[in-house]
């Protein structure tokens, strides 16, 4: 009976959904605003889905039940809300003509430092959904350069909606040249800009409590190694790379976490402990990874790059209380007050000068 009611409402919904998103009859209920539940840890979880947003998202062509494979009836059975991102869906990958899935990325993640112990502590390690949302596609109309491509496509392809859909699919993954002050700038190298990636990784790696728990699970007890893991973000943020990104978050000359911690030509998810031979920072690969920096440091010979990484300057792990650190601290303070003092002085002089001029006029 329940299945029948679900089927019936489903049939109504399919005929009623003008947008044509594949909703399998779920949106009859789920488009209702304010459809929420209280979770076990007493938080309110909004279960309403906006048709319009879903229809413009990257997963718009995937039916609800292709991801929510276990939900077949209402009332839903508890514990069925989890989604496995390695599930195959009906969408056919045009490059292989086979049903599409994220299986390959899933396997990389499962083996990586983030996936292998995930089941032991799902609140500490990142699953796909921690880093990815059902992102909206880029709006083709918002970029002049894309508008021009759009006109070009329509010379041959006639269906404007199809073109917009295909173009935004590609554009959402590609660097789009944007024109700023008359110059063409590359949009970004990954869809997220460099600082966004730093913030994503920092959301856990800066969290001492989380990382301390993780170190227990990983069985890392060596005092120095622990310290290095716990200060990974802090020790990155004092480097030149971080400062360049901080000043211009889209500056793709500066290395963000992914540039060093994933292998070139990999799929961004191959992050391993440095003793693992698959790791981009393993002694075996470090030269290759840092050799990548010859794209940025064309004059530096590769073997210098390797030495550079191993001298602990890539993450600046200062030796606390050493004379060197004390000098750095003093110089830092001095430079801060020198700059602030100079600026204050200049502002005061300009202010007084302005006052003088104003008084002369009257
Ligand atoms: C008859 C109305 C109705 C239909 C049809 C319906 N749902 Fe739901 N759904 C709800 C309600 C109400 C909730 C709130 C929690 C509950 O009662 O289980 C919910 C909750 C959910 C949740 C969250 C569960 C959790 O514990 O976090 C998911 C996921 C979900 N629905 C998916 C679907 C999918 C997929 C479909 C289509 C196959 C669907 N629903 C069809 C009413 C419906
Ligand atoms: C590409 C896969 C995918 C598709 C397609 C999809 N969902 Fe989900 N959905 C997810 C994932 C992943 C979650 C998060 C589950 C979790 O917390 O583990 C989720 C969560 C939900 C929730 C719980 C609320 C929340 O925000 O966590 C509801 C309700 C829901 N989906 C309904 C739907 C409905 C209705 C559709 C169809 C219009 C749909 N989903 C299509 C993957 C999908
Ligand atoms: C000169 C005419 C022409 C132009 C301009 C053109 N296309 Fe095509 N496109 C074709 C033809 C013909 C095919 C099918 C044959 C082929 O694959 O070469 C095709 C195939 C495609 C496919 C593959 C469809 C599939 O399912 O395999 C996509 C996607 C596509 N075009 C998108 C675009 C986009 C986006 C633009 C604008 C940036 C564009 N095309 C510009 C002629 C054109
Ligand atoms: C630690 C965070 C993290 C986790 C966990 C993660 N990803 Fe990613 N993923 C990224 C980043 C960062 C990128 C680079 C994409 C960008 O921003 O351009 C990416 C890229 C991707 C892309 C390419 C997206 C595009 O539009 O170009 C896919 C597909 C993907 N991930 C799938 C997955 C799947 C499936 C899982 C789970 C098995 C997963 N990811 C787990 C961070 C993560
Ligand atoms: C949801 C939290 C979370 C996010 C987000 C996250 N990590 Fe992790 N990461 C962990 C945990 C937990 C460990 C295991 C602790 C360990 O091995 O030190 C870990 C381990 C690592 C390690 C191995 C450290 C070692 O001991 O050798 C590296 C490298 C790493 N992460 C890099 C990244 C990068 C780069 C990103 C951003 C793309 C990222 N992480 C995002 C939680 C996270
Ligand atoms: C310029 C390259 C580079 C960048 C950028 C970078 N790392 Fe690293 N990271 C390394 C290298 C090389 C090591 C190994 C150091 C060693 O072997 O002494 C390392 C080590 C680590 C470790 C393990 C701690 C240890 O030393 O054993 C973690 C965790 C980590 N990095 C996280 C991050 C996070 C998070 C970011 C971004 C905020 C980041 N890294 C940015 C190159 C980089």
Tokens standing for 328?
């750095």
Query: Regarding beta strands 178-180 and 36-38, do their DSSP bridges make them parallel or antiparallel, or are they unpaired?
Result: unpaired
CA of 193 to the centre of ligand 5 (A): 19
* Contact between 57 and 137 (Cβ < 8 Å): yes
Predicted pLDDT at 189: 56
pLDDT at residue 254 in the model: 82
With respect to residue 237, please indicate whether it lies within any of the assigned structural domains. Answer: yes
Residues lining ligand 6, Cβ inside 6 A: 198, 201-202, 205, 225, 228-229, 232-233, 236, 241, 255-257, 259-261, 274, 281, 309, 312, 314-315
Q: Is the pTM of this model over 0.75?
A: yes
Give the pLDDT of residue 17: 39
Using a 10 angstrom Cβ sphere, with 0-12 exposed, 13-18 middle and 19 or more buried, the burial of residue 91 is: middle
205 lines ligand 4 (CB under 6 A): no
The verdict on the CB of residue 118 being under 6 Å from ligand 4 is no
Predicted confidence at residue 209, as pLDDT, reads 95
At 112 the pLDDT is: 96
User: What own/partner pairs with CB < 8 Å and gap ≥ 24 does 86-89 have?
Assistant: 89/62, 89/63
Among residues 316, 204, 203, 296, the alpha carbon closest in space to that of 251 is found at 296
| Tally of structural domains, the chain | 4
The verdict on 298 and 343 lying in the same domain is no
Q: Are residues 205 and 282 in the same domain?
A: yes
Residue 346 inside a domain? The answer is yes
Confidence at residue 177, expressed as pLDDT on a 0 to 100 scale: 59
What's residue 181's pLDDT? 53
Confirm or reject: Cβ of 91 under 6 Å from ligand 2: no
In-domain check, residue 121: no
In a domain, 110, yes or no: no
Number of C-beta neighbours around residue 55 at 10 A = 16
Q: Which atom of ligand 4 is nearest to the CA of 197?
A: 12
Indicate the DSSP class of residue 72.
Answer: -
My answer on whether 203 and 279 are in the same domain is yes
Statement to judge: residues 301 and 328 lie in one domain: no
Q: How close is the Cα of 30 to the center of ligand 1, in Å?
A: 7
Q: Residue 267: its pLDDT value, please?
A: 87
Residue 150: closest CA among 137, 167, 136, 170: 167
Q: What is the full per-residue pLDDT of the chain (362 aa) written as tens digits?
A: 344 334 434 443 443 333 445 677 899 899 999 898 888 888 998 999 998 999 999 999 999 999 999 888 888 887 788 899 999 888 999 889 999 999 999 999 999 999 999 999 999 999 999 999 888 888 888 887 788 888 889 999 999 999 999 998 888 877 665 555 554 444 445 678 889 999 999 999 999 999 999 999 999 998 888 988 999 999 899 888 898 888 888 777 788 899 889 988 788 999 999 899 999 988 888 877 876 666 666 666 767 776 766 656 688 766 666 787 788 889 999 999 999 999 999 999 999 999 999 998 76
What pLDDT is stored for residue 316 in this prediction? 78
Domain boundary residue, one of 81, 104, 126: 81
Q: Which of 20, 59, 68, 135 to mutate to test the pocket of ligand 2 (most atoms within 8 A of CB)?
A: 68
Tokens of 113: 């430092």
Q: Note whether 204 and 167 are same-domain residues.
A: no
Give the Cβ contact number of residue 356 at 10 Å: 9
Tell me, what's the pLDDT at 129?
A: 93
Determine how many CB atoms are found less than 10 A away from the CB of residue 327.
10
Q: Is residue 316 part of a domain?
A: no
CB 225 within 8 A of CB 301: no
Choose one of 123, 201, 281 to mutate for the ligand 5 pocket test, by most ligand atoms within 8 angstroms of C-beta: 201
49 Cα nearest atom in ligand 2 = 35
Domain that holds residue 159: 140-185
Q: Looking at 124, 151, 185, which one is the last position of a domain?
A: 185
What spacing in Å lies between the alpha carbon of 100 and ligand 3's midpoint? 21
Residue at which a domain ends, from 81, 100, 120: 81
């Amino acid at each position: 009976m329940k299945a029948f009611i679900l089927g019936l409402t489903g049939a109504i919904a399919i005929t009623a959904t003008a947008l044509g998103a594949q909703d399998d009859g779920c949106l009859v209920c789920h488009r209702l605003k304010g459809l929420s539940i209280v979770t076990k840890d007493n938080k309110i979880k909004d279960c309403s889905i906006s048709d319009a947003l879903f229809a413009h998202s990257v997963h718009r062509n995937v039916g609800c039940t292709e991801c929510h494979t276990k939900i077949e009836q209402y009332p839903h059975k508890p514990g069925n809300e989890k989604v496995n991102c390695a599930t195959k869906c009906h969408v056919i990958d045009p490059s292989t003509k086979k049903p599409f899935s994220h299986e390959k990325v899933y396997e990389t993640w499962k083996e990586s430092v983030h996936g292998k112990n995930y089941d032991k502590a799902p609140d500490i390690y990142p699953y796909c959904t921690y880093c990815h949302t059902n992102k909206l596609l880029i709006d083709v109309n918002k970029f002049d350069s894309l508008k021009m491509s759009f006109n070009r496509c329509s010379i041959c392809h006639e269906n404007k909606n199809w073109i917009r859909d295909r173009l935004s699919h590609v554009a959402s993954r590609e660097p789009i040249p944007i024109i700023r002050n008359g110059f063409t700038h590359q949009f970004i190298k990954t869809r997220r800009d460099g600082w966004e990636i730093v913030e994503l990784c920092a959301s856990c790696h800066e969290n001492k409590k989380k990382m301390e728990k993780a170190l227990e699970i990983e069985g890392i007890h060596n005092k120095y190694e622990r310290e290095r893991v716990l200060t990974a973000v802090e020790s990155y943020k004092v480097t030149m790379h971080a400062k360049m990104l901080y000043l211009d978050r889209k500056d793709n000359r500066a290395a963000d976490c992914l540039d060093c911690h994933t292998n070139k030509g990999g799929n961004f998810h191959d992050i391993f402990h440095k003793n693992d031979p698959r790791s981009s920072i393993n002694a075996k690969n470090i030269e290759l990874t840092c050799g990548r920096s010859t794209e940025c440091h064309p004059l530096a010979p590769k073997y210098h790059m390797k030495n550079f990484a191993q001298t602990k300057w890539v993450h600046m792990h200062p030796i606390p209380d050493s004379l060197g650190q004390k000098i750095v601290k003093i110089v830092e303070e001095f430079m801060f007050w020198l700059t602030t003092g100079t600026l204050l002085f200049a502002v005061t002089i300009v202010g007084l000068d302005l006052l003088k001029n104003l008084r002369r006029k009257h």
